[in-house]
Amino acid sequence: MRLRIKEMMTFLSLGCLSLGISQAQQAPNLNSNATLDELINYALSNKIELKQAQIDQEIGEREIASALSGWYPQLNASGNYTHNIQVPTINMNGSNIPMGQKNTASMVFQAEQAIINPGLFQASRAAQYIRQQNNLNVEDTRINTIVDVSKAYYDILTSEEQINIINENITRLKRQYTEANARYETGLVDKTDYKRAQISLNNANAELKTASEFRKYKYDYLKTLLGMNAGNAISLSFENQNMESNILLDTTEILQYANRVEIKQLENLQNIQKLNTQYQKWNYLPRLGAFANYALNYRNNEFGDLFKDNIPNSGVGLSLTIPIFQGTKRIQEVRKSELQEARIALDIENLENQIGAQYSAAMAGYRANMNEWRNAKENMSLSEEVYNTIKLQYDAGVKTYLELMTAETDLKTSQLNYLNALYAVLSSKLDIQKALGTVEIKN
């Protein structure tokens, strides 16, 4: 549907005017240890797609000004020089009389003013819709930027927490390996325990390496969203970022289609198409304009004396063009434009259905992820309690090392599941806000 909107916009812009403008914001610097708000503000000033949309606005404003310039007087000058090899003659009373001289030159200055012109009527009325469409295109890009940057930030925050968990796990495994090795050397246990500890430690180090590589990619992806070169350094601040405090959402809010920027875009396109239909009807009107001209005329048989004498002439008047019959072209254009109006109306209806399904899917995902998060939170608490108990029992010689490893694995898994569930809740919350059209656009 988004592609369809852009195609229709391109077609209608060529038919009416084109795009509108907005002043590009001055790009702020990105501080070290940047917060989420700072990232969003930076992205809104530096993202390539936003800069392109703002340039499109400026291009559109120039095209609007160009189209409306037809209302101003149009001044033209033209000139010509003719050398008559054979001077035309006229026969009068049996005698051939020359009608002119061998060399002639003229220069004409003419001013024209449009009075009735359907194309200019359309340009005047279409300007507001074109500007509005460009503003909506920028708004759509800003919404997507805010959502994408927020998700990327939370994804990196989740990765950082995952790496912290893995590091804590490595610390525990190193301690367990040391203890198992000491028990083996003192003859309390065989070498199986510390070999298992070594295997677990190796796996944890490999897991840390994998998580670190993915974290690097996530930082590079965030740089892309920010419009930042991949070689630039970036550091983020996660202070006061309690993800749990950001997950709650009012699930009773009613979906309002009018809040969605995509609906506004189609409605604006519908207004442009209605104007195009009106323009096709205006083509039945005559074209009326006023003109004034002043001409300098020079004639002489000798080229060297051509510009010695000037015989000027001037005049003012009105020009009227009445389109009478064009082979039913105007009728067909009116009917085609009316059909395009009907198609856009169906596009709006179809988009509303898609938005309803999108909202339903986002809400279902949010509720499901909330349930997963609550379950993961409880499991994490239970796993931590179980690990601490078994660790004490292992130290007392009651539990085996295999049971300790199992408890440690369950603890790490539950912690990672909790983080993944928390990120899923935050991501689905953003999806709901986007579906509702309630994403806060920062200025």
- Res 92: pLDDT: 82
Spatial separation of the C-alpha atoms in residues 210 and 198, rounded to whole Å: 18
Give yes or no for residue 166 having a pLDDT over 60: yes
**Where do the domains of the chain lie?**
2-73+115-287+327-436
Question: Mean pLDDT of all residues in the chain?
Answer: 86
**For residues 85 and 204, what is the distance between their CA atoms, to the nearest angstrom?**
100
* CB proximity list for 392: less than 8 A, separation 6 or greater: none
397's CB contacts (< 8 A; 6+ apart) are none
CB 116 within 8 A of CB 286: yes
- Other CB atoms closer than 10 Å to residue 96's CB: what's the count? 9
Burial grade of 204 (CB within 10 A; 0-12, 13-18, 19 or more): buried
DSSP class of residue 34? B
Reported as a pLDDT band with limits 50, 70 and 90, residue 11 is: very low
- Mind listing the pLDDT tens digit for each residue in 54-82? 999 899 899 899 999 989 999 999 999 99
Mean pLDDT value of segment 419-425: 92
72 by DSSP, 3-state: which? coil
Sheet holding 74-83, edge to edge: 74-83, 103-116, 287-300, 313-321
Task: Average the pLDDT over 297-325 and give the result.
Answer: 89
Which pair of structure tokens corresponds to residue 230? 């991949």
Average pLDDT in the 340-348 region? 95
Q: Higher model confidence: residue 33 or residue 375? A: 375
pTM (2 d.p.): 0.77
Mean pLDDT of 19-38: 60
- Listed residue (100, 95, 97, 66) closest to 83, CA to CA: 100
7 pLDDT more than 80:
no
pLDDT for position 12 = 35
Distances (CA, A) of 231 to 33, 219, 221, 228: 17, 11, 12, 8
User: From CA 414, how far away is CA 420, in angstroms rounded?
Assistant: 10
CB-side neighbour CA atoms (13 Å) of 311: 7
Q: What is the pLDDT of residue 188?
A: 67
Task: Inform me whether the pLDDT recorded for 112 exceeds 90.
Answer: yes
The tokens describing 336, both together, are 């085609």
Q: What is the pLDDT of residues 350-382, one digit of tens each?
A: 999 999 999 999 999 999 999 999 999 999 999
Angle at 44 between CA 42 and CA 48, to 5 degrees: 100
pLDDT surpasses 50 at 327: yes
Q: What is the pLDDT of residue 443?
A: 57
Distance CA 183, CA 181 (A): 5
Q: Which residues contact 102 (CB under 8 A, 6 or more apart)?
A: 83, 84, 87, 300, 301
DSSP helix/strand/coil, 131: helix
- When pLDDT is averaged across residues 155-171 and rounded to a whole number, the result is 91
| Greater model confidence, 442 or 429 | 429
Strands 89-92 and 74-83: unpaired
Strand partners, 327: none
Q: What is the pLDDT of residue 4?
A: 42
Number of alpha carbons in the 13 Å side-chain half-sphere of residue 198? 6
Cβ contacts of residue 229 below 8 Å, gap of 6+?
A: 223
φ/ψ of 35, rounded to 5, equals -85, 175
Q: Is the pLDDT of residue 196 over 50?
A: yes
What are phi and psi for residue 110, nearest 5 degrees? -135, 140
pLDDT band at 336, cuts 50/70/90? very high
Range 281-303 average pLDDT: 90
Task: Determine the Cα–Cα distance for residues 69 and 112; give it in Å rounded to an integer.
Answer: 13
The CATH number given to 2-73+115-287+327-436 is 1.20.1600.10
pLDDT of residue 241: 62
